[in-house]
Amino acid sequence: MYFENSCIFGEFPLDPCDHLRRNEEELEKRSASKSSRFLYYRNGEVLMEDEAGLIPKFISHAPHNGILIFLGEQAGRSYFACSVDQSEEDFSGGYFLDLRTIARNTSENEFSGIPSLLARGKMVLDWHDRNRFCANCGLQNESGRGGYIRHCTSCKKEYFPRIDPVVIMMIIWKDKCLLGRSAHFKPGVYSALAGFMEQGETIEEAVRREVLEESGIRVGHVDYVKSQPWPFPSTLMIGAIGEALNNHIDIDSDELEDAGWFDKNQIREVLKTGGNDKFRLPEKFAIARHLLDYWLRQA
Ligand SMILES: [Zn+2]
């Protein structure tokens, strides 16, 4: 088992207080309480104290309009996420930043659940934005249970925040691992292959299907390694390691621009130097880097 280095966007720091989500009166009271704190989001970005995005700007009142997400409580204080528009108020003294910037600037040693808190607010708010109308009858939906449900005002159908599972895998052939690059990656970046799971698949089946489709490599044994919430917009990255049964790469050029086998020395060298425009690795906050670290540690 592998418990080292939790992933950024994991480790939610609050008690989500599920039992309070049905208690509208209590949530109303807390949303009006001076002791509560509010994270403000705008266009998928969150308000931070500093330009580097290390400290969230906790506001002590709710905005006038919009959906409130009850994130939970810690030490008797309630936390909410809410979306605000440009005209809401003066946000000088704060910076709206995207979560990739925040993740990039937060070192693995110093994060303590804050990126997870910010990510959860973003994911739930994004979900509300994309689900304003009932998929069953087309009429307006309403938010409920602290923002964790939308119900149709007409046909009464209920909807819950969705998560899209993606498998991401380190595929091993003897002493080498398989990495590929998509055309949209930054120059030189090679990463673990990844893809959305399909309905009715196990994680193992999804790993085998994706790798075969993208690279022509057949995969045998698959082990789960770790997972990472990925708030762009609401993915769960499921990290796995698998054994290749053949090594001849035949890429699907719709998915990949290139793929290859890399040994541990090549990977260690790039980790040391940072690499160049011909070969570099994913950023350290991505689960692909954790999978590489996991493989490097194996004998
Ligand atoms: Zn409906």
Q: What are the chain's domains?
A: 18-123 (3.90.79), 164-297 (3.90.79.10)
For 120, 214, 244, the CA distances from 249, given in Å and listed in that order, are 38, 9, 11
**pLDDT over 70, % of the chain:** 96
Whether residue 267 contacts residue 197, with contact meaning beta carbons closer than 8 Å, is answered with no
All residues with CB under 5 Å from ion ligand 1:
134, 136-137, 152, 154-155, 157
- Residue 145 CA to ligand 1 center (angstroms) comes to 18
Whether residue 217 contacts residue 246, with contact meaning beta carbons closer than 8 Å, is answered with yes
Residue-level pLDDT at 3? 43
The per-residue pLDDT of the chain, averaged, comes to 93
pTM given for the model: 0.93
- Residue 233 preceded by cis peptide, ω within 30: yes
Question: 68 — phi, psi (to 5°)?
Answer: -110, 130
Report residue 2's pLDDT band, with 50, 70 and 90 as the boundaries: very low
The string of pLDDT tens digits covering residues 70-107 is 999 999 999 999 999 876 667 778 999 999 999 988 87
pLDDT at 240 over 70: yes
- Residue 133 CA to ligand 1 center (angstroms) comes to 8
Q: Where are the beta strands (DSSP E) in the chain?
A: 37-42, 45-48, 68-74, 77-83, 95-97, 141-144, 149-152, 158-159, 164-173, 176-181, 193-196, 219-230, 235-244, 258-263
- Residue 72 CA to ligand 1 center (angstroms) comes to 29
For 189, 250, 256, the CA distances from 275, given in Å and listed in that order, are 9, 25, 20
Report residue 109's pLDDT band, with 50, 70 and 90 as the boundaries: low
- Residue 290 CA to ligand 1 center (angstroms) comes to 43
d(CA 43, CA 64): 17
Residue-level pLDDT at 110? 72
- Residue 161 CA to ligand 1 center (angstroms) comes to 16
pLDDT at 163 over 70: yes
pLDDT at 156 over 60: yes
- Residue 141 CA to ligand 1 center (angstroms) comes to 7
DSSP line for 15-47: B--GGGTT-HHHHHHHHH-TT-EEEEEETTEEE
Residue-level pLDDT at 5? 57
Query: Residue 186 carries which DSSP code?
Result: P
pLDDT at 44 over 80: yes
The residue type found at 213 is E
The string of pLDDT tens digits covering residues 252-294 is 999 999 999 999 999 999 999 999 999 999 998 999 999 999 9
- Residue 67 CA to ligand 1 center (angstroms) comes to 19
Give the three-state DSSP class for 225: strand
More confident residue, 90 or 14: 14
- Residue 40 CA to ligand 1 center (angstroms) comes to 29
Residue-level pLDDT at 4? 56
